Structure formats: C-alpha cells, structure tokens
Structure 1
C-alpha cells in the first residue's frame, strides 16, 4: 500500500471544490485541465491508498475488516486507486458510501474510451469485492459496513 501524503501538501480542497476548479480550467486549456485533474484527483486532507493489484487491495481490506475499534464510527473521506484488470480504477468514499462522481475521476477528462473502460472495470471491481465480502461472512468487526459499502456501489454502477 502506498500513501501519497508524504509527497503532496494538503491544500484544503474538498472534492466539490476540486471539481469546480477543474471545470473552470477546462474552459481555458485542455493540457492544463489534464494536469490539474491529475493533481486535484488526489485528496488533499487525507491519503490516497494506491494498490498495484487486486490482491494487494484485498490484503489491506482484510486487515481493515479485522481492525477493532468503534465500528459505529463512520470513516472520514477515503480515496482509493488501484490497478484492476489492466485499468486504473479510482474512487472515494465517506460515511460508508462511495461518492458516485469520484469513480474513475482520474481519467474522466482524458478521453471517452479510457473513461468508459475504467467505468467497466470499476463495475467489475465493486461486484467482485461485494461477492468476496459476502463469501467471507460477517464474522469480522467491520464486515457489515464494508459489505454494504461495496455492494451498494456495485448496485449503483450496475444500474
């Protein structure tokens, strides 16, 4: 797992603020917008967890499922980026809900084919994670929350 907080300074932008800045940049310069999208897709006040493959993500998820602590406490904003079936999939979640507008945001303004492929892979990723969590059952302290998170995202993307 890789966290980018060591390399990028927090600048205090929320996802909505990053989107607004990016939209205004799109009007002025395509290259500037792409570069800005790459910089702004990284969450500013929290780390982006990056995984080279699904097995690395799964290992981190297993550790998160086993973590003790107040399971009723909702997590702050979390950003995930991983390579899944040869595509880069990114998303954010907060309060146990994936932010739909954040899915594949890192490639949304690159080109339509890349974005479409990313959305297809994201759909596969959320479905696979949901199924994996269902198979593991609800024995772990945070299993119900994570299962709801990924299964809900799979339903929303699939519709």
Structure 2
C-alpha cells in the first residue's frame, strides 16, 4: 500500500522498523509485491541510499490500489490506518448518494458489490487528484460515445 501512495522513495529498513518485522522478512515479501505490481505494468526501482520507488502510469496505480483495497474489503473491513493512507474516510459515504442518483438517472444497474467497487475507486481517485496526480495521459477522444451522451444529458 505504501508504495502505491507515496511520492517519495521508501527504504525497507524504515518499513521494517515501522511494522516491527525484520528486514529479511520484508525482503522475502517483496517478491510477491513485485509480482503484484507487474500485473499492472508497475515497477519498483531501487536507488542506493534512497530506497525503492514505484513507477508506472497513474491509471495503473489507481487500478492496483483499488483492487488491493477491494480484496481487503472482501476479507473484512479495511483497517483504519490502511484506509486512511488510500483515501479520506468520509469520501465513500459522500460519493454513495451521488453515484446512486447518477446510476438511477441514466438507468444503469449494478450489483451492490459493483456499486461498492465504484465508490471505492471514486474515493481513490479523489485522493489521488487532491494530491496532485491527475490522469495526464487521458484525452477526450478516449471517451466512448455513450459516456459522452450521458455527460451531455
């Protein structure tokens, strides 16, 4: 989670101290972390004396972060420190009525799980944009016609 939300390099020693685990344990877990990031075309680069930094597109970072949070919600509630790192706690509750109204207005039906996922993604987007991470590589030409039509109404 920390690599997905940090703008700076992170030293494994610092994480190990913060989480009360050995550096060796954390180093072993990094294999799984790198594999997960690879599925989203994200890479962790190591810089001597600076630590590790995540690189990849903003779309990929948002997708990976949302999917990770979704997996955690499926296992139970997201622990407050983890959720706070990914989004402001009040945002999903604020997004929910707006999402409901929009889905109803445009006759879009989603499962309850689908709505929760969209709310979670929205909360991640709000956090990322507020921290200065817009979708720089997104253009209006990438929008499907039905989305343009919904926006116009």
TM-score by length of 2: 0.30
- Answer 1 or 2: which has greater helix percent: 2
Higher RCO structure, 1 or 2 (CA under 8 Å, sep 6+): 2
TM-score by length of 1: 0.30
When Rg is computed on C-alpha atoms for both structures, the one with the higher figure is 2
- Answer 1 or 2: which has greater strand percent: 1
